[in-house]
Chains A and B, each alone.
Chain A
Amino acid sequence: MATPSSPYEEMMKGLWRDNPVFVQVLGMCPMLAVTNTAVNALAMGLATLFVLVGSSFLVSVMRSLIPKQVRISSYIIIIATFVTIIDYSLLAVFPKIHKELGAFIPLITANCLILGRQEAFASRNSVGYAVMDAIGMSVGFLFALLALGSVREILGEGALFGFNLFGPNFEPWIIMILPPGGFLTLGLILLFFNWITEKRKQAQIEYQLAEERAS
């Protein structure tokens, strides 16, 4: 991995260019399972943010102490600890949300995005960079979750964050909040993302061509 110039850039790359969901296609399980409403998506995103930032910080601090051979096990223990902490905290403070997310909070442990960032980034960089990278990645993840959750809730229930948008005459597309709707919506969002990236690339090429012609 090339060393980019500043922690700020590390953070920004997770938002769009290396977005964990749209570009790297990581962390799919929680991504699809809990995004039937925007509120659930937000809660899951914030829980993941806490776990990712916490473990990145700790892994980065201890990176010289952990021998290479047991690094994966140590990372998993660290991650599982943070997940247990957020699990109990949510249960105590927001029991309603905990009920909705149910078994998917412990499953944050198995989110490949988190382990992947420890292995690829936090274990090789200083604390500042690691934390910024974690914040960027999880905000990018949160953004993707919210996008998916909003689309599915708007189409599937005619509401957003629980507020009814279309009135009683709207017939909800129930399929959108069912599992197939998750796959289809994410597929279409990825398609849209590819399309934008492609467009940008083309615009850039045309711009370069125009410049060459001008000079």
Chain B
Amino acid sequence: MTDAALQNFLWIFISALLVNNFVLAYFLGLCPFLGVSGKLETSVRLGGATTFVLIITAICAWALNTYILPHAPYLRLISFIVVIASTVQFIEMLIKKLSPSLFRSLGIFLPLITTNCAILGLAIFATNREYGLLESFIYALGAGGGFTLALVLMAGIREETELTDVPTLIQGTAFNLIIAGILSMAFMGFAGLFSS
């Protein structure tokens, strides 16, 4: 029993981290992925903050889904969105107080986490699959890790290409999207992890 449970947790984690990476396979959280990830350091920090929000959201979504939503299924979307918005607000205040320098470096991106589809997506997917509390937590951890991983990879590649001679026509989003396409293809290879 414990073996099967452990396997299940590992499966959820690896699936969210690599095989069904939120950014590269589900296209969630693309705005920060394409817009922000120019610098390695910023992307690590943003990834961390997002993971934190993801975890809190996952726990709240589980609680809502277990205790409140069975009585009022139509409130699902609204309640999730309210939870996410207040979590982000709370974290913003917390970071501002604890580490003003981190607050400055994250700047505008913090409030933008609210409209990061990865977070709402996580809440919806986790409740659709009726994950338990621990499963939700692990799923959020994997999804956050996957988001950070994609962000960091992208930032690394973009730092490398900064000095190369890219034709003006392709520079900017088009270039980033094509890189993302190649990354996404590479991540498809992880599907092999589950085939045997």
Contacts and interface: CB of A to CB of B under 8 A. Distances in A.
B78 A80 contact: yes
Interface string A106-141: 110111100100000000000000000000000000
Contacts of A203: none
B64 to A, nearest CB: 14
A180 B182 CA distance: 7
A110 B117 CA distance: 5
Interface string A70-111: 001100110011011001100000000000000100110111
Given A33-B27, A179-B27, A180-B182, A191 B121 contact: no
Interface string A160-174: 000000000000000
Contact of B116 (A72, A73, A110): A110
A204 interface: no
A58 to B, nearest CB: 15
Task: Determine the interface band of chain A, counting residues with CB < 8 A from chain B.
Answer: 35 or more
Interface string A15-32: 000000000011011111
B181 A183 contact: yes
B28 interface: yes
B139 to A, nearest CB: 14
B24 A179 contact: yes
Given A25-B173, A29-B29, A190-B173, A103 B181 contact: no
Interface of B: 24-31, 34-35, 74, 76-78, 81-82, 85, 111-112, 114-117, 119-121, 124-125, 128, 169-170, 172-178, 180-182, 184-185, 188
